[in-house]
Amino acid sequence: MANKCGHCGKFISQTDGVKCSKCTSTYHRPCVNISPESRISPKWICKTCKIPRQSPVPADYCIEASVDSRVESHIEGLLAKEIKLLRTELKTLSEEMVSFRQEIAKLNTSMTQFNSRLDSVETRVTSLEQQTKEGHKSCNNNELVDIIARLKRDLNIKEQAALSNDLELTGIPEQKGESPGHLMTLVAKKLDVELDERDVVSVERTGMRRNRESSDSEPPRPRVIVVRLARRSVRDQLLRAARVRRGADTSGFNINGEPTRFYLNERLTYANKHLFHRARQEARRCNWRYAWTKNGVIFVKRDSMSSKQKICMDCDIEKVFGSS
């Protein structure tokens, strides 16, 4: 009957194997490291039976235990590396946290300083407001008045420059369905000035229409006709002709009623118009003979022998005519 090898578990013949004298187990010669030429002692004992009796651990178990110990040592090495790396990362994180805390501390300091400055500004603003309420202004009121007056004067000069091509025609009765452009053409012919249609930009009456209060009352004053010309030279030509033919009226204009005198003047801003009105009043009061405008500037003259005076502001009227 064939036996099995106690080491590899394969079948073995009795002539090719070796037999343990103690446990009677049979083994292949190569499995127990015995060459085929070697002579086997009748008292040969296998490795299992050679293990001391006080050690209950089998040989295979010892091999597995050594392997397990090597694995454990390898794992312990990996764990040690991981722990070392983790400690390094924790140290870096700790340093970053320290830096972050320092930045937070600096930020808190900056915020404290900012709040302090803000409180200081609020205190100063409150103080200034209190001074303003009490009438103690830091700026000079006279300087502010001068600045505002200068700005108004500059604005008035620019507005007057924008009207350098404009004329005002007054004294022509207003009729329903009239053509202001046709009236301006009749005025130009009356003044013996050739007025081309291309020289006229616009012609219109300005202001609110004035209604007659009753049938017995006098007709309302006609509104002003504003003429804007394309060229300033044409405007100046019409003004010169109007001065030469002073006293021209609306005869031949096909307007109902008696002929009335019309007046052609350069257009003034509201401020200059008000100033010119005051200058004329003062001239009458002081018996000055002449008051006129040229290119938006007001002039007055006592008589033909005296020099002309320029009026630009209200204070100039007081300088020229004296206080009322």
Count Cβ atoms below 10 Å from residue 46 Cβ, excluding itself. 21
Q: How many CA atoms lie within 13 A of 224 on its CB side?
A: 15
- pLDDT tens for 106-141 read 888 888 888 888 888 888 888 887 777 766 555 567
pLDDT of amino acid 231: 93
DSSP H stretches of helix in the chain: 47-50, 59-133, 141-162, 180-190, 232-244, 270-285, 314-321
Query: Over the chain, what is the mean pLDDT?
Result: 85
Q: What residues does 299 pair with on adjacent strands?
A: 292, 310
Q: Give tens-digit pLDDT for 222-233.
A: 999 999 999 999
pLDDT at 43: 78
Classify residue 51 by its DSSP letter. S
- What percentage of the chain reaches a pLDDT higher than 90? 46
Please tell me which residue, 16 or 251, carries the higher pLDDT value. 251
pLDDT at position 66, please? 61
Would residue 308 be called left, alpha or beta, if left means φ above 0 and alpha means ψ between -120 and 50 degrees? beta
Structure confidence at residue 161 (pLDDT): 92
Question: Three-state SS string across 118-163, please?
Answer: HHHHHHHHHHHHHHHHCCCCCCCHHHHHHHHHHHHHHHHHHHHHHC
Q: What is the 3-state secondary structure (H, E, C) of 222-270?
A: CCEEEEEECCHHHHHHHHHHHHHCCCCECCCCCCCCCCCECEEEECCCH
101 φ, ψ (degrees, to nearest 5): -65, -40
Average pLDDT over residues 273-297: 94
Rounded-to-integer distance, Cα 99 and Cα 186, Å: 93
Residue 226 identity (one-letter amino acid): V
What pLDDT does residue 145 have? 82
Per-residue pLDDT for 216 more than 70? no
Q: Which two tokens stand for residue 248?
A: 């021209």
Residues 6 or more apart whose CB falls under 8 angstroms from that of 294 comprise: 266
pLDDT at residue 23 in the model: 84
Confidence of residue 190 (pLDDT cuts 50, 70, 90): very high
Cα atoms in the 13 Å half-sphere on the side-chain side of 18: 24
Rounded to whole angstroms, the Cα distance separating 250 from 234 reads 21
Q: How confident is the model at residue 25 (pLDDT cuts 50, 70, 90)?
A: confident
Torsion angle (degrees, nearest 10) of CA 316, 318, 319, 324: 160
What's the longest Cα–Cα distance across the chain?
Answer: 173
Confidence of residue 238 (pLDDT cuts 50, 70, 90): very high
pLDDT of residue 310: 94
Quote the pLDDT of residue 199. Answer: 92
The mean per-residue pLDDT over the stretch 22-36 comes to 81
Residue 259 Cα distances to 120, 224, 241, 250, angstroms: 77, 17, 20, 5
pLDDT tens column, 145-184: 888 888 999 999 999 999 999 999 999 999 888 999 999 9
Residue 265 pLDDT > 60, yes or no? Answer: yes
Please give the residue that has the higher pLDDT: either 154 or 42.
154
pLDDT at position 110: 86
Q: Using N-to-C axis directions, what is the helix angle for 270-285 and 314-321, rounded to 10°?
A: 10
- Phi, psi dihedrals of residue 173, rounded to the nearest 5°: -55, 145
**Whether 269 contacts 160, CB under 8 Å:** yes
pTM above 0.85, yes or no: no
Contact 225, 183 (CB under 8 A): yes
Are 158 and 199 in contact by the 8 Å Cβ rule? The answer is: no
